[in-house]
Amino acid sequence: MPRDYYEVLGVDKDASDEDLKKAYRRMAREHHPDANPDDPEAESKFKELGEAYAVLSDANRRSNYDRFGHSGPSMGGAAGFDPFDIFASFFGGDPFGFGRRGGPQRGRDLAIAVEISLTDVLNGVEKSFPVRSLRKCQTCDGSGAEPGTEVTTCLRCAGAGQVQVVQRSFFGNVMTASVCPDCRGYGDKITSPCSKCRGEGRLEREEEVTVEVPAGVEEGMQLKVEGQGEAAPRGGSPGDLYVQLRVKPMRGVERQGPDVMVVAEVPVSQAILGSTLKVDSFDGAAEVELQPGTQPGEVIKIKGAGLAKLGRPGRGDLLVKVDVKIPTGLSQEEDEVMRQFASLRGEDVAEYQGFMGKIRSAFKG
């Protein structure tokens, strides 16, 4: 004789829909077979709960049940409902939060930004920096078991971390692999958890990470450091660390891949007559020939004095862009020489204003 449905759910005869839902939610979770692997009755209790809920949550079936009890019309026992489907409609597919299907879990990947200089881009660099993250517990070596205590193979899954379960569906029974509810997929059982990490096998700790930055890298590039991400709980493989490179800009230096451009201010006389220019380069002071008649904006190339090429031999070029400075505030003598120069070239220029003339035009301007 089946138990009274109200009694199964532990609610009164006048329970509202909300009361039924609450009661089912609480009890189904408690009696789910996956949560009670050692209770052989769990499955039938769970089924009974589902049946009680299925009937009482349906107004027609509930009023039939109230009048006729289990012998009423169209009760039909468990027909027309699936206790696991009802459960899934409340909790979804992963009610106990295992979130995975067997085997040890992998640690999460981490990302960190690291700043390097242009000199580092030229030469390549070994960078060390602290990373705070979940790391393997050194006390238990990541096993999660207190040192010297026993770790036994899980009997239910024989260490596989997975069990075959029969899933009921509208299409019949389907065999699927599921996380072993006894060991939660680890395949073993810890008798006394590590006191340091409380059985997790990992702890938050700061560790120095070293990464080899190759020459020629670009802003925003990522380097993957394998195994330096978060440690997995209880001995799974760790995640990876992604190092995002930030190249610190250098004042007055513009980078175009392996080439770099600098601007050199040149007095007008040097641009006209030519000269030897001194420029700062990665290799110290360098000299470039300024040809007579160099135009503003002209670029002089120093081959091979740029940055390294990523993954290739050789270096880019150093490009020196000429910025011709026009002198202001000429002395009377300089003014005279320039006028002479203009007249030789037949170029019309504004008349000499003298000192007071300059003042007046400044106020007008």
- Report if residue 134 touches Zn ion, rule: CB under 5 A: no
Query: According to the binding rule CB under 5 A, does residue 182 interact with Zn ion?
Result: yes
Q: Of these, 110, 154, 302, 305, which contacts Zn ion (CB under 5 A)? A: 154
> Contact region for Zn ion (CB under 5 A) — 79-87, 157-165, 225-233, 337-345?
157-165
Q: For tokens 């978060």, what's the residue?
A: 230
- 222 by Cβ neighbours in 10 Å (0-12 / 13-18 / 19+) ranks as exposed
Among 140, 215, 245, 266, binds Zn ion (CB under 5 A): 140
Which range touches Zn ion (CB under 5 A), out of 78-86, 149-157, 339-347, 354-362?
149-157
Strand partners, 178: 163
185-214 positions binding Zn ion, by CB under 5 A: 194, 196-197
Residue (of 278, 277, 284) closest to 119 by Cα position: 284
The two three-digit tokens of residue 349, written as one number: 């220029």
Q: How many residues belong to the site for Zn ion (CB under 5 A)? A: 12
For residue 364, count CB atoms less than 10 angstroms from its CB and return exposed for 0-12, middle for 13-18, buried for 19 or more: exposed
d(C-alpha 300, C-alpha 360), whole Å: 42
- The CA distances from residue 245 to 78, 228, 248, 254, in Å, are 62, 16, 9, 17
Does 230 participate in binding Zn ion (rule CB under 5 A)? no
Give the max Cα distance, the chain: 125
Residue 180 in contact with Zn ion, rule: CB under 5 A: yes
CB of 262 to Zn ion, least distance (A): 55
Q: With CB under 5 A as the contact rule, which of the stretches 44-52, 118-126, 150-158, 240-248 interacts with Zn ion?
A: 150-158
Query: Per rule CB under 5 A, is residue 231 in the interface with Zn ion?
Result: no
Tell me if residue 22 falls in helix, strand or coil.
helix
Cβ–Cβ < 8 Å for 315, 305: yes
The nearest distance, CB 148 to Zn ion, in angstroms, is: 12
Using CB under 5 A as the binding rule, whether residue 217 contacts Zn ion is answered as: no
CA atoms within 13 A on the CB side of 75: 20
Residue written as token pair 């980078």: 255
Near Zn ion by CB under 5 A: residue from 36, 64, 139, 275: 139
Nearer to Zn ion, 120 or 188 (CB): 188
The residue (of 20 and 154) whose beta carbon lies closer to Zn ion is: 154
Q: Which residues bind Zn ion (CB under 5 A)?
A: 137, 139-140, 154, 156-157, 180, 182-183, 194, 196-197
